Amino acid sequence: MRRYFGTDGVRGVVNTDPMTAEFALKLGRAAGYVLTKHLSHKPHVLIGKDTRLSGYMIESALCAGLTAQGMNVLLVGPVPTPAVAYLTRSLRADAGVVLSASHNPAGDNGIKFFGADGYKLADEVEFAIEAALDDLPPLPPALDIGKAERVEDARGRYIEFLKSTLPRDVRFESMKVVVDSANGAAYQVAPRLLEELGCEVISLFDKPTGYNINQACGSTYPETMCKKVVEVGADIGFALDGDADRLIACDAKGTIVDGDKVIAILAEHLLQQGKLQGSAVVTTLMSNMGLARFLKQRGIDMLRADVGDRYVLEMMRKHGCNLGGEQSGHMILLEHNTTGDGLMTALQLLCAMQETAKPLSDLASDMNLFPQKLWNIVMEKRLDMLSRPDVQKLIQAAELELGDTGRVNVRASGTEPKLRVMVEAESEALMLKTGEQMVAALEAIIQKIG
């Protein structure tokens, strides 16, 4: 059983176990040792972060643990999560670390590791790190500790990398773009990248204070972005999350284009270019049945992974796919980067619009979504609800009622004490009825357990 690592690293409320300075120092020692113990050279570990106030504290403590254990540390400051994946490879680091809680509030933070190849750590490596926390390795002699230094041009390096994924002559001179950086890690990178590619940019939420990351902005609150697109007559809007590994778009009419529609657009674009690998795309259990129907009509298989980008990536690598993603806007373009990349996704959408000479609304209109809703049931503490026979009986009854015209997915959140209930059906009335009945029954069971 995992004790600290969830589906996306270690995460929690700051100054509450495990997200404390003391734990970060220990984790630095344990992770640094596990990730670099077989190396014959002095290890280098790269650390990036988003704009949370606690990033300074966690960064200092983690850096102390790594250097105490004998690793050199490269500090790149506030950069998107995908930038850390890229820079770890580019700077030939032996591991990379991101300090971020993604789309969560400013009071949360997280610690996420990448290997030297830019991929997130395998389960067995995370288990080894947890074991090392119980039995910390011996410290090296005084003069064998590591040193820390800052990499001053990290953001510029990442911008050049993003531009290098486009054909040399591609520019977006005629595009008017609204970008919401969520007061997060991309607050400098996002507007600068788009401006360098010729876009007229209206930049929102690009003044982080340490307290305002994801605060009524970004991919979980795209309403302001949508309103601004209509107000200024923009061609497209992009809303990133706090660490810029996911993106929600909207068209010129201010209509949201979610992750499922983005996958449909990018899959068709890659297919037409002869660049779609594996004859399939990887999505999750949450992806809409309308997407599956759209892809099937074009001869593309849709493979469903468990929720979480690490599981999407695992399935992509297993089946040789280069496109995968989540409904939440987390897209992996494996031809270019080893993790989800919101800005990479934005560039590919702009390319699809330019090469087809179609607005985003036309590109998105080819796929019809089934009515779908997600309910979040908050619990006082984590409960293993899915192993209960009465819960399984509820799920089976709902699936039987929906038959081939819909589906149900009930899962525990990987980061919070919540039970997530997703229902979709061809009929909105049937979807709502099924979902509301399930939620009421599940809440009754939770209350009974206490």
CATH (residue range 373-449): 3.30.310.50
CA–CA separation, 450 and 448 (whole Å): 5
- Token pair, residue 182, equals 């969520």
Q: What is the pLDDT tens value at each position of the chain, 450 positions in all? A: 778 998 789 999 999 999 999 999 999 999 989 988 889 899 999 999 999 999 999 999 999 999 999 999 999 999 999 999 999 999 999 999 999 999 999 999 999 999 999 999 888 999 999 999 999 999 999 999 999 999 999 999 999 999 999 998 999 998 999 999 999 999 999 999 999 999 999 999 999 999 999 999 999 999 999 999 999 999 999 999 999 999 999 999 999 999 999 999 999 999 999 999 999 999 998 899 999 999 999 999 999 999 888 899 999 999 999 999 999 999 999 999 999 999 999 999 999 999 999 999 999 998 888 999 999 999 988 888 999 999 999 999 999 989 888 999 998 887 678 999 999 999 999 999 999 999 999 999 998 887
Closest CA to 363 of 373, 381, 350: 350
Given this chain, do its domains 173-255 and 258-364 carry the same CATH topology?
Answer: yes
CATH of 5-153, one of 3.40.309.10, 3.40.120.10, 3.30.1330.100, 1.20.140.10: 3.40.120.10
**In the CATH hierarchy, which fold is given to the domain comprising 258-364?**
Alpha-D-Glucose-1,6-Bisphosphate; Chain A, domain 3 (3.40.120)
Q: Count of CB atoms within 10 A of residue 255's CB? A: 17
The DSSP secondary structure of 158-227, one letter per residue, reads HHHHHHHTS-TT---TT-EEEEE-TTSTTTTHHHHHHHHTT-EEEEES----SS-TTTT-STT-THHHHH
Catalytic member of 54, 102, 181, 203: 102
CA–CA separation, 225 and 248 (whole Å): 10
Whether 284 and 241 have beta carbons less than 8 Å apart is answered as no
Q: Count of CB atoms within 10 A of residue 299's CB? A: 8
Cis? peptide before 18, omega within 30° of 0:
yes
CA–CA separation, 329 and 219 (whole Å): 8
For the chain, what are the domain ranges? 5-153, 173-255, 258-364, 373-449
Global pTM reads: 0.89
310 three-state secondary structure: helix
CA–CA separation, 252 and 229 (whole Å): 6
Longest CA pairwise span in the chain (Å): 70
Known catalytic residue at 102: yes
List, in order, residues 6 or more apart from 340 with CB less than 8 Å away: 81, 82, 245, 246, 309, 325, 330, 331, 332
For tokens 């890659």, name the residue: 270
> Which architecture does CATH list for 173-255?
3-Layer(aba) Sandwich (3.40)
Whether 26 and 54 have beta carbons less than 8 Å apart is answered as no
